[in-house]
């Protein structure tokens, strides 16, 4: 009887062990997920002041000279990097610098996680993209596609998605890279040789594409 019992106990313990081993990844996943959700919730609370300019879900509000960029659905790594660049004074826009300076690095990380967790929406109001300019721009984006994708959906999370972004903002960003107001080694050299006409056409091309930032109607 005795050996049999021990065997039984051994099998029982083995089974428990197997169940635990099998459950461990699920448990780790659940912990990671709940951490992710709490980061999103924290990020959301930190963005109440941003809504005035970036819109209720992070998109669709106009600014006098160009449209405030869509951030809902943008790549997390890129967003974090962009916020850190305002903090490091590598980008100029004063309000964004002030916002980024007034927050901790932890705050900026949670904000990036929150914006990236949102879905971009179809924009129904102006601004629109121009179809003829988009067609002209399609011929100019061969180099850009290596990082931003042929259709404006970035090939890696450290690059921004451009699909569906406001054309006026894309032009503005390219102008800032060209003038050096926005500092980024790759983009400073990419924008160096573009004419204003090229920038407008390229911006309209990427704006006309559909992606996680949502879609713009055409003109």
The answer to whether 95 touches 53, Cβ cutoff 8 Å, is: yes
Stretch that binds ligand HEC, among 23-31, 80-88, 121-129, 210-218 (CB under 6 A): 80-88
Distance of CA 79 to the CA centre of its chain: 5
The Cβ of residue 14 has, within 10 Å, a number of other Cβ atoms equal to 10
The Cβ of residue 59 has, within 10 Å, a number of other Cβ atoms equal to 25
Stretch that binds ligand HEC, among 10-18, 25-33, 34-42, 49-57 (CB under 6 A): 49-57
Q: What's the first-to-final CA gap in the chain, in angstroms?
A: 86
Stretch that binds ligand HEC, among 4-12, 34-42, 63-71, 122-130 (CB under 6 A): 63-71
Nearer to ligand HEC, 40 or 173 (CB): 173
Which residues here bind ligand HEC, judged by CB under 6 A?
A: 47, 49-50, 52-54, 63, 68-69, 71, 79, 81-83, 85, 91, 93, 95-96, 99, 111, 143-144, 146-148, 159-160, 162, 170, 172-174, 176, 182, 184, 186-187, 190, 202
């Amino acid at each position: 009887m005795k050996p049999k019992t021990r065997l039984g106990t051994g099998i029982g313990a083995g089974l428990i062990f197997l169940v635990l081993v099998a459950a461990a990844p699920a448990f780790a996943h659940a912990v990671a997920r709940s951490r992710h959700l709490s980061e999103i919730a924290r990020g959301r609370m930190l963005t109440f002041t941003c809504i005035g300019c970036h819109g209720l879900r992070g998109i669709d509000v106009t600014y006098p000279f160009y449209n405030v960029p869509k951030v809902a659905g943008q790549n997390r790594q890129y967003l974090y990097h962009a916020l850190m660049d305002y903090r490091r004074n590598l980008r100029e826009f004063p309000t964004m610098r002030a916002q980024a300076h007034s927050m901790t690095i932890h705050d900026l990380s949670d904000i990036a996680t929150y914006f990236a967790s949102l879905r971009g929406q179809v924009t129904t109001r102006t601004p629109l993209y121009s179809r003829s300019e988009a067609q002209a721009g399609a011929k100019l984006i061969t180099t850009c596609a290596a990082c931003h994708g042929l259709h404006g959906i970035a090939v890696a999370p450290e690059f921004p998605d451009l699909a569906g972004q406001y054309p006026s903002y894309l032009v503005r960003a390219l102008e800032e890279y060209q003038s050096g107001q926005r500092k980024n080694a790759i983009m400073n050299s990419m924008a160096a040789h573009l004419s204003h006409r090229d920038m407008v056409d390229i911006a309209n091309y990427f704006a006309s594409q559909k992606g996680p930032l949502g879609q713009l109607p055409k003109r």
